Amino acid sequence: MSDAAESKTVRRLPGGVLATGLAVLVGLLFVGSLLTGPAGIGFRESLAALFTRDRDAVALIMQEIRLPRAILATMIGASLGLSGAVLQGYLRNPLAEPSLMGVSSSASLGAVLAIYTGVSAAFPIALPLMALAGAFAAVLVVRALAGAGGGSIALILAGVAVTSLTGAMTALALSLSPNPFAALEIVTWMLGSLADRSMTHVWLAAPFMVLGWLLLLGLGRALDALTLGEATAATLGISTGRVQNIAILGTALCVGAATAVAGAIGFVGLVVPHLLRPLVGAEPSRLLVASALGGAALLLAADIAVRLIAPEQDLKLGVLTALIGAPFFLWLIVRSREGLP
Amino acid sequence: MSTSHRRPGMRARERLFAGLAFLCLDAATAMAGPETARSDLPARVVSINLCTDQLALMIAAPGQIASVSFLARDRSMSVMADAARAYPENHGLAEQVFLMKPELVLAGTYMTASTVDLLRRLGITVEEFAPATSFADIRRDIARMGELLGHPKRAAELIAELDTRLAAASRVGGPRSPLAALYYANSYTSGRSTLPDEIVTLGGLRNLSRELGLAGVEKLPLEILVRHAPRVLVTGESYEGAPALAQEGFRHPALKGLGAEEVPAATADKYWICGGPFTAEAVRLLAEARDRVLPGLVRDRADIEARAPEGNVP
């Protein structure tokens, strides 16, 4: 793929440098996440406790409370960043993103139905599966309403409609629960949280997310070809229908599993690809890995921040990602209006 | 679980009230003569609070109560569930209560302020009971309920029952007693100046939240709880059949990994929510848990004293 024109205007980093840099950043933030918590355990003690086979209090805190939280932040951030990059590339729309398209909200509804009806207590695997079904349905609906390559306005309207509808149904389902605490959890499902998640959640969500990553990362070459237009891509042997199916399935797997354990977390999939695109140039294939790493770094940082800002209040992750993402979103809208004829 | 909340600085005054209530009680019992002879007793009593429901059901004469709240019928929350079924239920709404033409309304001080204001403006006598934050509160509330309903003797019997059951259940604790943690939904706990704290202490255990300097109902992060590795763990109601994330903490592997003796309040919530003679049962459950985590050890000073003479006999 030639992008000589792009290379003149943006400063591209050589291949590998950006990915390595982001991977190091993710590694540092991962360790930072492990070291953040109210129990105030020292640096060496906490890292040693990660690998000990004892089951003392410090080992339990590190292995059963902080490790799953750091793993989930990394995997969910990567899933959201990667889905955002793929959706933007495949729909050729700068506003495509799981939460704006209503995919996260719809996955939340699936997860809520699984948990609060008691289905997931009997069959734990029902939790990611029902969230995945919700995500899948939302991508299909928004895709049908807005159309591939359709205007940003249509996409946003369809996303707003799906988000409002599924959000209302989530609130309704939680309000009808006889458990007095359920209604308070509407906030968690709409803004996302990783407080006190366990390894059980990691094992439930990880296989689906990894499968989703493999599907989405495999789309790199096809997305590159699609930047030349569907007709040209077809001559290169790219089947648009197949790309679409894989993109939808991969997004549903990633976002569904992520939302099932952490609720809907907005704006990661929107902000990260836009921030990284100038650094990788206009090749979607290079953007995919970078966006996955960037998403992981952003969510790890946000999850550290919620614990530092309000250690005992369980500040929701979506609050922080929206604080970063919403102004960015406004800027994108202004810019896209300027670009209109 | 418990809805008791912080009221610092009131404990001394409450003790004084409790003492005064006892004095008044004795005088009243001495003067009143046979209880049935009094004609000024409120006849149509409506209770709109789970805690006043239970005390009223224990103390009132048959027919004196016109209605109790719907919660009083719930076996998981009320020890008087069977007795409550004999009376019409109410949902604590002013309109509903007014139509029952009550002579006396019994209410809690918690969450019902607007209902109580409205009823008073309609000319109805309302007596409010604050949530009990200590056993002294419970004794005071029972005595007051006896006075209000005109059965001080019955109230005195209940207080005596509470004291007898407490004496039998409680254990002598000390600075080396096992540590217990109260862990409710959404990581809340009860610290100093709460009834659950006193229940834990009377059970011969140390309350982790009090030792951490918490007072009233406050957050206790899971990490901090695990860090102190309590031997006894009291968890809140888990709402079987209606799960929520709030109760997921109770099943967290880090908590299970502690191997602490669990006292699920789900099986004993009714002994914790309100204060009454039955609160002694919560103390007994904790004392039993304490005995299980101290196998083969000398359990308290009473035990030492009881065994000492036998040991000395040649």
Q: Looking up tokens 């998403």, which residue turns up?
A: A295
Please indicate whether, in this complex, the C-beta atoms of B223 and A184 are within 8 angstroms of each other.
no
Q: Compute the distance between CA of residue A241 and CA of residue B165 in angstroms, rounded to an integer.
A: 75
Nearest beta carbon to residue B242 from set A38, A120, A178: A178
pLDDT at A245: 87
pLDDT tens string A191-222? 999 998 999 999 999 999 999 999 999 999 99
Q: Can you tell me whether residue A318 is helix, strand or coil?
A: helix
What is the C-alpha separation between A98 and A100, in angstroms, rounded?
6
Minimal C-alpha gap between B254 and chain A (Å) = 5
Q: Cα angle vertex A266, ends A80, A269, to 5°?
A: 35
Angle at B181 (CA atoms; ends B178, B182), nearest 5 degrees: 140
List the alpha helices (DSSP H) in B230-278: 253-257, 269-273
Kindly report which listed range (A78-92, B72-86, B255-269) carries the lowest average pLDDT score.
B255-269
> pLDDT at position B7, please?
37
Section A279-300 average pLDDT: 92
> How many whole angstroms separate alpha carbon B135 and alpha carbon B276?
9
Count the residues in chain A.
Answer: 341
Of B243, B248, B257, the CB nearest to A55: B257
d(C-alpha B53, C-alpha B153), whole Å: 19
| Angstrom distance (rounded) from CA A175 to CA A156 | 28
Long-range contacts of A141-144 (CB under 8 A, 24+ apart): A141/A102, A142/A101, A142/A102, A142/A103, A143/A91, A143/A244, A143/A248
B69-99 as b/e, with b when 16 or more CB fall inside 10 Å? bbbbbeebbbbbbebbeebeebebebebbbe
Smallest Cβ–Cβ distance between B223 and the set A39, A120, A184 belongs to: A39
Q: Which is more confident, A10 or B64?
A: B64
Among A309-313, B163-167, B230-234, the minimum mean pLDDT is found in A309-313
pLDDT digits (tens, 9 = 90+) for B137-149: 999 999 999 999 9
Which runs of E-coded beta strand occur in B112-243?
126-129, 179-183, 188-190, 206-207, 217-219, 232-235
Question: Contact A322/A263 with Cβ under 8 angstroms?
Answer: no
Kindly state the tokens that stand for A33: 């996440």
Q: Which of B266, B25, B263, B9 has the alpha carbon at shortest distance from B157?
A: B25
| pLDDT at B304 > cutoff 60 | no
Which residues of chain B have a Cβ shorter than 8 Å from any chain A Cβ?
185-187, 219, 221-224, 226-229, 239, 241-249, 252-254, 257-258
Residue B136 has pLDDT above 90, yes or no: yes
Q: Which residues pair with B215 in a beta bridge?
A: B192
pLDDT reading at A59 higher than 80:
yes
Q: Is the pLDDT of residue A260 over 60?
A: yes
Is B97 or A313 the better-scoring residue by pLDDT?
Answer: B97
Contact between chains at A196 and B244 (C-beta distance less than 8 A): no
Q: Residue A340 has what pLDDT? A: 52
What mean pLDDT value characterizes chain A? 88
Q: Helices A240-262 & A67-91, crossing angle to 10 degrees?
A: 150
Q: Which pLDDT band, with edges at 50, 70 and 90, does B308 fall under?
A: very low
Mean pLDDT value of segment B267-296: 86
Between B237 and A275, the more confident residue is: A275
Mutate to test the interface with B, among A41, A54, A60 (most CBs of B within 10 A): A60
Q: Do B239 and A38 count as a contact with CB atoms less than 8 A apart?
A: no
The answer to whether residue B20 scores a pLDDT higher than 90 is no
Read out DSSP for A23-61?
A: HHHHHHHHHHHHT-STT---HHHHHHHHH-----HHHHI
The DSSP call for residue B61 is P
Interface test with A, best of B238, B252, B256 (most A CBs within 10 A): B252
**Which tokens go with B250?**
């109770």
- At residue B23, does pLDDT exceed 70? no
Rounded percentage of chain A residues whose pLDDT exceeds 90 = 55
**ipTM of the prediction greater than 0.85, yes or no:** no
Q: Choose the closest CB to B243 out of A56, A115, A199.
A: A115
Which residues of chain A make contact with B253, given a CB cutoff of 8 A? 64, 198-200
Instruction: Return d(Cα B45, Cα A263) in angstroms, integer.
Output: 48
Q: CB neighbours of A1 closer than 8 A, spacing ≥ 6?
A: A224, A225, A227, A283
Model confidence over B70-103: pLDDT tens digits?
999 988 889 999 999 999 999 998 889 999 999 9
Query: What pLDDT does residue A33 have?
Result: 96
Q: How far is B244 from chain A (nearest CA, A)?
A: 5
The residue-averaged pLDDT of B118-122 equals 91
Interface test with A, best of B219, B222, B248 (most A CBs within 10 A): B222
Extract long-range pairs of A21-29: CB within 8 Å, 24+ residues apart.
Answer: A22/A290, A22/A293, A22/A294, A22/A297, A23/A293, A25/A293, A25/A297, A26/A74, A26/A293, A26/A296, A26/A297, A26/A300, A29/A296, A29/A297, A29/A300, A29/A301, A29/A304
Measured between beta carbons, the chain B residues lying within 8 angstroms of A64 are: 252-254, 257
B35 residue type, one letter: E
CA B173 vs. chain centroid, Å, equals 20
Order across the sheet with B206-207: list the strands: B206-207, B179-183, B232-235, B261-264
| Contact criterion met (CB < 8 Å) for B242 and A60 | no
d(CA B151, CA B174): 39
Are A141 and A158 contacting, i.e. CB atoms less than 8 angstroms apart? yes
What single DSSP character describes residue B112?
-
Q: What is the rounded average pLDDT of the residues A15-25? A: 90
Q: Do B252 and A64 touch (CB under 8 A)?
A: yes
